[in-house]
A and B are shown apart, each in its own frame.
Chain A
């Protein structure tokens, strides 16, 4: 687990590890408190959900985020066994103790809630953004979403998307990283972004963090 930060909820005096982890290309070990790491959402899926008592109670199935602010709302879960299907419990972000490189830690099974606490069944059906097309507000098709970039610190937020450009060809087309706009329209079919966001695309994850910052600065200046 990465980093350390004080103040475990309900556990006076116990050190609580910081959320996040050694996301792709972002060595998190020994990070200062408050630091954050970029990781891909598909890397979070299938991570085991483990209690502080060491019991693996589930594994992550869906990552659910708020399309308005980009905040991670929680996770839907599936069972740990090979033949077990989706669980009738979900994990709201409030119940996450630490989002680590290898596991999602919770204090105990009380952190698990009814599925509706994270996402309603109707929302889940049409809300998957993977494979959605990305369109600019000018009507240009930028590509399709192959992954989602999550910045995990004390909170976890979706900061961008990994896309496969529309003109990509071949068996291993190159992907690019696109910052998530503050005001965005997103659905299971298409994601509409400001055309400006395409000017802040990055080729790799390490370089993406700076592009996200630059894009947000630019959006802020535009709003002023």
Chain B
């Protein structure tokens, strides 16, 4: 196989890995709204 085909393959693999890493990181950063059970009054900030 020609050398440039390997170059294309390597670049494509790197792009896929980078995109996967970004997607995983975006999912880790994306938040939610979590319900927890707390005893007593909580959330009394801004005193």
Contacts and interface: CB of A to CB of B under 8 A. Distances in A.
Interface of A: 7, 9, 16, 18-19, 41-42, 45-46, 60-69, 71-74, 76, 78, 82-86, 92-98, 119-120, 123-124, 127-130, 147-148, 154-158, 186-187
Interface in B1-47: 21-22, 25, 28-38, 41-47
Interface of B: 21-22, 25, 28-38, 41-47
A40 to B, nearest CB: 10
Nearest to B47: A9
Most chain B C-beta atoms within 10 Å of own C-beta, residue among A19, A85, A96: A85
Contacts, number: 121
Contact of B34 (A16, A85, A123, A154): A123
Contact of A66 (B22, B32, B38): B38
Contacts of A83: 21-22, 25
Given A63-B34, A129-B34, A78 B42 contact: no
